[in-house]
Amino acid sequence: MNFKFTKWHGCGNDFVIINGLEENIETIQPQAAAICNRNFGIGADGVITVCPSENADFCMRIFNSDGSEAEMCGNGIRCFARYVYEAKLTTKSEMTIETKAGIMKPKIIASGDDVLVTVNMGNPVLQADKVPVAGFADKTIISEEIIVDNENFHITCVSMGNPHCIIFVDDINAVDINKWGPVLEKHQIFPNKTNVEFVQVLNRSKLRMRVWERGAAITLACGTGACATLVAGVLNNLCDRQASLQLDGGLLSIEWNESDNNVYMTGPATKVFEGKYSG
């Protein structure tokens, strides 16, 4: 399998982006795990393909490092938007991108020497059976206690097109994410599995977040996770509707707009290198 690619990252969450308008991407999904392998492949958290869309400017598909397909990816869509713009696939600095979680609207913003991308991530989904979380019907899950391997966790569940389980902690450095991340990801109450965010509130306008991503394990950042975390913080009255989230790989600015109920994410998207894959 041969194709040209470009490597991008958003806050250290890295992706192999392939232009499916020019490259044959029919067999990408079965190859995603091999492509993402950091020892024997290119190395990435996911593979993103640029596809045509009848409903938007482009369609984005994303495959995790285990080969599973994700509904959406916040860091990925920022990278996608800047890639198609800089590759001159579009002249629009504000565009529409179809995803499995709906149509997203990223906007490229020049800020001094930096280039940031703001994305309207849409309305958060709070109804348990739509996140989905089993056994809670249409309830909103806010600081609900569950017991996992004799450990108590208070979870808040939000979907940003993909499921998130947010847990607020006193000291994020004391959390064994490698232990609890996979157990919570595959817990029986999450029929589609879940992403897991551990969050320490530094103040009402700054949160520290670490993530165990469904299908990718620990990553340096998760854009949809940052959005879900801000929403969870507001629901628990722990933070304001606009805050900075410090992730392992960098800083994201998140706002849950009260007037339109949409969540807006702003952050960087950085090109790393271009190459050709022969596998």
Phi-psi region of 204 (alpha: psi -120 to 50; beta: other; left: phi over 0): alpha
Question: Are residue 157 and residue 132 in the same domain, yes or no?
Answer: yes
Asked if the structure places residue 122 within a domain, the reply is: no
Looking at the fold, whether 53 and 148 belong to one and the same domain comes out as no
Q: Tell me whether residue 250 is in a domain.
A: yes
Average pLDDT in the chain: 96
Q: What is the pLDDT of residues 148-164, one digit of tens each?
A: 999 999 999 999 999 99
- Pair (105, 223) in one structural domain: no
Pairing relationship of beta strands 46-51 and 13-19 according to DSSP bridges: parallel
Which of 11, 36, 59, 73 is the catalytic position?
73
CA distances to 222, 236, 257 from 203, rounded to whole Å, are: 20, 13, 19
157 is annotated as an active-site residue:
no
Residue 143 and residue 106 share a domain: no
Is the pLDDT at 116 greater than 80? The verdict is yes
- Domain of residue 92, CATH code: 3.10.310.10
**13 plus 100 within the same structural domain:** yes
Evaluate if residue 241 carries a pLDDT over 90: yes
Q: What percentage of the chain exceeds 90 in pLDDT?
A: 96
Which residue is listed with tokens 């290119």?
A: 42
Is residue 121, in this structure, part of any structural domain at all? Answer: no
With a cut of 90, say whether residue 105 has pLDDT above it. Answer: yes
Q: Looking at the structure, do residues 143 and 238 belong to the same domain, yes or no?
A: yes
CA atoms within 13 A on the CB side of 245: 36
List the binding residues for substrate.
Answer: 13, 64, 74-75, 162, 195, 213-214, 223-224
Residues 12 and 90 in one domain: yes
Does 237 lie in the same domain as 135? yes
Give the number of domains in the chain.
Answer: 2
Tell me if the pTM is above 0.95. Answer: no
- Same structural domain, 96 and 148: no
Residue 66 lies in a domain: yes
pLDDT at res. 154: 98
Residue 244 lies in a domain: yes
The answer to whether residues 238 and 162 belong to one domain is yes
User: Does pLDDT of 224 surpass 90?
Assistant: yes
251 plus 190 within the same structural domain: yes
The answer to whether the beta carbons of residues 254 and 226 sit under 8 Å apart is yes
Where residue 207 falls among pLDDT bands split at 50, 70, 90?
very high
Pairing of strands 163-168, 195-203: parallel
| Average of per-residue pLDDT across 48-63 | 98
**Burial (CB count <10 Å: 0-12, 13-18, 19+), residue 258:** exposed
175: containing domain: 128-261
Question: Is 165 annotated as catalytic?
Answer: no
Q: What angle do CA 149, 151, 156 make, to 5 degrees?
A: 110
Return the structure tokens found at 233: 């913080």
Q: Is 165 exposed, middle or buried (0-12, 13-18, 19+ CB in 10 A)?
A: buried
- Residues annotated within the binding site are 13, 64, 74-75, 162, 195, 213-214, 223-224
Tens digits of per-residue pLDDT, 4-18?
999 999 999 999 999
257 shares its domain with 170: yes
